Amino acid sequence: MEITGAEITVRCLQDEGVEFIFGYPGGAVLHIYDELFKQDRVKHILVRHEQAAVHAADGYARACQKPGVCLVTSGPGVTNAVTGIATAYLDSIPMVVVTGQVPTHAIGQDAFQEVDTVGITRPCVKHNFLVKDVRDLAATIKKAFYIATTGRPGPVLVDIPKDVTTARCEYAYPDKVELRSYNPVVKGHAGQIKKAMALLLEARRPMIYTGGGIVLGEAAAELAQLVRALGFPCTNTLMGLGGFPATDPQFLGMLGMHGTYEANMAMQHCDVLLAVGARFDDRVIGNPKHFYQEERRIIHVDVDPSSISKRVKVDVPIVGNVKEVLAEMNRQLAASGHGPDAAAVKAWWTQIDLWKGRDCLKFDRGSAIIKPQMVIEKLYEVTAGDAFVTSDVGQHQMWAAQFYKFDKPRRWINSGGLGTMGFGLPAAMGVQLAHPGAPVVCVTGEASIQMCIQELSTCKQYRMPIKIVNLNNRYMGMVRQWQEFFHGNRYAESYMDALPDFVKLAESYGHVGMRIDKPADIESALKEAFARKDQLVFLDFVTDQTENVFPMVPGGKGLSEMILV
């Protein structure tokens, strides 16, 4: 039987096992919405702005490993979605974005709500398609899911003109796809892995540095096994937190611009570095020239060959799925019967412990004004370290990363690559849908939260009991910090004037609002908020305006050139 393109679209989503689709209706997608209305297998979540639809799908994908799916209309629907798509692209999040387009005969005519969607999104998607013939629709959607979820994941966009959604053809969803031009490498080269293991076993100052690839590649167990078997120190990037348990004694904390002293020093001074699912970006190793000043040999495991030797020359490149490669490393290590140079590694740990003794994350615990770090520490205690924590972008993000000890992957959800303010709340919505009973916290600031504040309405509609921890310092804190350090204390436009009363704002959306301005009240407020299991609680913490994030590697400086508190 012939069915319409709109029906085919929805049938494909059903056959793909899609639970939720995040979206916002509009002219070009009305036929698809009509088909969504007629079924109940794919649940539609109506956001209040298309950017939030993409962030929510993104948060969902990060929290539960399945691809996020969203649906927006042509023109402004697409342009609003672009920030979300770029966010997912920079962090390699599997996602399928379905967009409406003006009818094929109107394309290129500057029609109402027409933009060149494929052109606009080309640089920020893994791949995109414009479907001009309904007979290609099902196969294209299948390809989109396949490309989005394999190799290095990423967002894939399918642009569907309105007349394609009304055209008819037979429906058959392909079982599998084969693309001659797309064959991601899975298994790492056994010889290279052998070389890597030999290098690791002769290391005197070894270091293991892992990124978001461990989380995306579901390789945390294999990583933990290897790190423990070797007894080496391990650090995670901002994207990789939770990839190795933060409470493990071999964990040195996060590295990079706001990484710990010990992690950055160990990175700089190691003699053999194993990098897994990480990409040596500017926020992680600082100035590559400075990084080169110390000699070290580097083993780099990544599913994306273009990530290898991009910013830093590598001695042993291994292209492959990180889970498979780490498993093979564990196998080879067990089979070899050899271990690392125990005396050398012990001496290395003595050095690291000296660096640890610097206590680089210390702050004034006796402060009469709330220190933002206190809030995160209490949040960690109250949630027993097991909440899903999303964040926006800025100082609060760094404090959350430094002070919430993530022991499991997929618990820490933030926009690492693009650094998108406004990500936290809509991402938390996606996370909450992925894990309905679990505690979900959005750590944010008064500047970031206002970038997607309208989603408080979506949270009400779908009864999402998210806890919003607003570290309100009346400044764009990270901008203010840079202005203090590098712009002579000239706080150009970084003061947040005319702020709303967040308590009343939350209440006006039908949620609970709380303001906390004394350190002694932090714990009780958090406990009360989490006791409200079916309500969204907006906790507005009035924090110290002058607090800065330390350590800090200034832009362009080397990893060991940190500003310390």
Chain residues that interact with other proteins, rule: CB under 8 A: 118-119, 122-123, 126-127, 130, 147, 179-182, 304-306, 309-310, 313
Is 550 among the catalytic positions? no
Which one, 182 or 363, has the nearer CB to other proteins?
Answer: 182
Do 107 and 101 touch, CB atoms closer than 8 A? yes
Closest contact distance (angstroms) between CB of 394 and other proteins is 27
Do 191 and 156 touch, CB atoms closer than 8 A? no
Cis, bond preceding 551 (omega within 30 deg of 0): yes
Q: Which residue has the tokens 């679209």?
A: 9
Which one, 122 or 365, has the nearer CB to other proteins?
Answer: 122
Catalytic residue among 14, 37, 109, 112: 112
Residue 306's identity, in one-letter code, is S
Which one, 19 or 116, has the nearer CB to other proteins?
Answer: 116
Closest contact distance (angstroms) between CB of 118 and other proteins is 6
The DSSP output letter for 202 is T
Closest contact distance (angstroms) between CB of 204 and other proteins is 29
Please work out, in degrees rounded to the nearest 5, the angle formed at the alpha carbon of residue 308 by the alpha carbons of 305 and 309: 135
Closest contact distance (angstroms) between CB of 306 and other proteins is 4
Is 50 among the catalytic positions? yes
Residue 154's identity, in one-letter code, is G
Is 162 among the catalytic positions? yes
Pairwise CA distance, residues 176 & 80, whole Å:
32
Which one, 292 or 462, has the nearer CB to other proteins?
Answer: 292
Pairwise CA distance, residues 275 & 252, whole Å:
15
- Kind and range of the H or E run holding 427: helix 424-434
Catalytic residue among 7, 20, 22, 50: 50
Burial letters 273-301, b for 16+ CB under 10 A, else e? bbbbbbbbbebbbbbeebbeeeebbbbbb
Closest contact distance (angstroms) between CB of 431 and other proteins is 29
Distances in Å between the alpha carbon of 222 and those of 79, 167, 212, 247, 430? 40, 49, 14, 17, 27
Catalytic residue among 207, 476, 478, 514: 478
Which one, 66 or 127, has the nearer CB to other proteins?
Answer: 127
Pairwise CA distance, residues 249 & 238, whole Å:
19
Residue 311 tokens read as 């910013």
Is 478 among the catalytic positions? yes
Catalytic residue among 126, 142, 143, 162: 162
Which one, 304 or 407, has the nearer CB to other proteins?
Answer: 304
Catalytic residue among 16, 19, 113, 535: 113
Q: For 128, list phi and psi in degrees, rounded to 5.
A: -145, 160
Closest contact distance (angstroms) between CB of 156 and other proteins is 9
**Annotated catalytic sites, by residue?**
50, 112-113, 162, 478
